[in-house]
């Protein structure tokens, strides 16, 4: 079975579910954040965006601005390390 990437509406619903119980989550514009996500953003990527936004926020809260900053940073995406390791 293959599961594809969520579309914008599904990404907004995933985001809403993830931030539902987080301080400030009720005020987040989930449609705006979902619209800013690049193609091929997984549910796991969205979860990591939320995690990073909460850690970077004030007192464990989340906001549209903080989420958009995390999306823009691209740091939430897993990357293959470069270089030689022993």
Task: Write down the pLDDT at residue 69.
Answer: 96
- CATH code that applies to domain 8-73: 1.10.8
pTM of the model: 0.87
pLDDT higher than 80, residue 56: yes
d(CA 32, CA 86): 44
pLDDT higher than 80, residue 85: no
Closest CA to 57 of 12, 9, 32, 24: 24
Q: At what angle do helices 43-56 and 8-19 cross, to 10 degrees?
A: 40
Task: Write down the pLDDT at residue 84.
Answer: 73
Q: Model confidence over 13-26: pLDDT tens digits?
A: 999 999 999 999 99
């Amino acid at each position: 079975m293959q599961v594809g990437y969520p579309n914008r509406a599904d990404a907004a619903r995933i985001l809403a579910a993830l931030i539902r119980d987080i301080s400030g989550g009720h005020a987040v514009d989930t449609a705006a954040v979902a619209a800013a996500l690049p193609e091929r953003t997984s549910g796991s990527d969205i979860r990591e965006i939320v995690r990073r936004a909460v850690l970077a926020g004030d007192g464990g809260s989340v906001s549209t601005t903080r989420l958009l900053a995390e999306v823009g940073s691209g740091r939430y995406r897993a990357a293959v390390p470069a270089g030689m390791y022993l």
